[in-house]
Amino acid sequence: MSKLLYPRSLFFISFFFILISGFAQTYAKNGMVVSDNEVASQVGVAVLKKGGNAIDAAIATAFALAVTHPQAGNIGGGGFIVYMNASGATTTIDFREKAPLAATSDMFLDENGKLIMGSNHKGLKSVGVPGTVAGLYMAHEKYGVLPWKELVQPSVDLAKNGMILTFTLATHARRSQEGASAFLKEYFKNPNGKLVDFGEVWKQPALAKTLEQIRDKGKDGFYKGKVASEIHKFMKANGGIITRKDLKEYTAVERAPMKGTYKEFEIYSMPPPSSGGVALIEMMNIMELANLDSIQFNSTAYVHLVAETMRRAFADRAEHMGDPDFNPEMPIEKLTSKEFAQKRYSNIDLERASVSDSTKFGQLYDGANTTHLSVIDKNGSAVSLTYTLEYSYGSQLGSPKLGFIFNNEMGDFNPQPGYTDRDWLIGTDPNIIKPGKRMLSSMTPTIVAREGKPYLVIGSPGGRTIINTVFQTVLNVLEYEMPIHKAIEAMKIHHQWLPDRLIFETHLMSPDTQKALEEMGHTLYGRSNLGRLMGILNSTEQGVFIGASDSSSPDGAAVGY
């Protein structure tokens, strides 16, 4: 590869493309990658051109995002892959982070057994054992075709030789100088101590060396040897609890996907420890029962119905969902059945908002900075991959010798056993902290099939809003036959049972609708946007792949060939 993958001469053309890519569709015949960063998408497409399949391209893109999209792209976090090959066979890979072996259920509580507010998201004790490298390596071992080194090398080149700092990252760099961790304050500086600015070359030599270990030694390059030793030393010196043993014993897991149907479509998504697939299928089942021909899209009646559907699915996931290796009796088949959906739909009052009751169910809490990529190759095999650091830039902590940022995913566990309130705390047992347990997630990487072939590849960041933004986008495509870019850009809402409020996109919902919903008993809360979706539609009728990157992702892009 060239020393500067993103040369200055192409920068402004690329920047213009980024500005319009979220509002338009990208068409390709041979393959496509959609991610939160154009350079990372280009890396993935280059792999497809070399004969790599969708898994290969997803791996290369994910490693590239660890360099170009550090607020969420990572080797210090974890996530999920949903993979469907060209013949329709589907599987998933779970590389969610785990609680360290020294973790305890009361590790974030004070002497009175109350949560020390913020403690489960701050400091090195908030870091779960990272799973990204193990998950990508397992995906490659089982389903990749190109050599591992060829998939990691582009990210090494980007870190070592540098990339042009985007306006988004330059803004983050400036903000990091005020109130951020000491590590993050130095993160965007050159070796001479100068903060890198918009349009300048940003090099990450420490990260390049870490990626070289992964390139040369595979999974062991992260979980054993030099990198693992430095993680252990850094944790021990700074109050963390992750050890060499935690790293050595970490394993990714291949799991059967969640499978549901909506009319003639088949929906495949992530099973627990993600709650996304279960909730998505439950909500699609409920909406399938509604007479949507009589309810105008985005009308007050429509928004109310969608919000009430969300409320029920989130109450169910709060009560029942957790790591399946620690909760073998979760009622997954019941929650995703058509019969259960009929019961849930039958108690929706189409004229009045329900009341969420914290004495009967729990509620999840999740971070808001994740990233998603979607890939499809020339043979029609597809990957939907979502991974995360939890918060934007995770814990904001990392060893300067390693150059990557650790997650703060321990905050996704229920921190105070047995205590649930009307705001955000939940204390139900399935997601209580235990050593080696994976924390519950909202990530919802999804592939929809039609006639046994990949049709829609979709996913989003957004923490606890992920499930609902994916749900509405899937519904927009399958029920309303929207083009992928319009399905992504359409107004989204979010209800998660507790807190009992309906979140809406401020500039997309009319004041009249807001007023009508309030009169129905909803409490409204406006936000600038919900989700940051990355999607691909496989249009077999036209013989093309159609991709779109959410306009809320300033650096995102759909790239195809």
What is the DSSP code (8-state) at residue 463? G
Beta strands in 451-496, from DSSP E residues, in sequence order: 453-458, 493-494
> What is the distance, to the nearest Å, from the Cα of residue 325 to the centroid of all Cα atoms in its chain?
21
CA atoms of 415 and 366, how far apart (whole Å): 12
3-state secondary structure of 144: coil
3-state secondary structure of 329: coil
- Other CB atoms closer than 10 Å to residue 402's CB: what's the count? 21
3-state secondary structure of 457: strand
**Catalytic residue ranges:** 370
Beta strands in 96-198, from DSSP E residues, in sequence order: 163-164
489, 550 Cβ separation under 8 angstroms:
yes
Residues 6+ apart with CB under 8 A from 438: 94, 96, 97, 98, 99, 273, 323, 325
- Other CB atoms closer than 10 Å to residue 191's CB: what's the count? 7
- Side-chain half-sphere of 340: how many Cα atoms within 13 Å? 17
Rounded alpha-carbon distances, angstroms, from residue 163 to 68, 150, 510? 8, 19, 42
3-state secondary structure of 79: strand
CA atoms of 561 and 558, how far apart (whole Å): 10
What is the DSSP code (8-state) at residue 458? E
Please state whether beta strands 524-527 and 502-505 pair in parallel, antiparallel, or not at all (unpaired). Answer: parallel
CA atoms of 336 and 321, how far apart (whole Å): 13
CA atoms of 381 and 90, how far apart (whole Å): 10
CA atoms of 211 and 218, how far apart (whole Å): 10
CA atoms of 322 and 328, how far apart (whole Å): 9
CA atoms of 154 and 376, how far apart (whole Å): 19
CA atoms of 417 and 361, how far apart (whole Å): 14
Q: Which two tokens stand for residue 2?
A: 């060239």
Closest CA to 443 of 483, 407, 400: 407
CA atoms of 522 and 500, how far apart (whole Å): 8
Closest CA to 131 of 96, 100, 101: 96
Helix axes 205-217, 54-68, angle to 10 degrees: 160
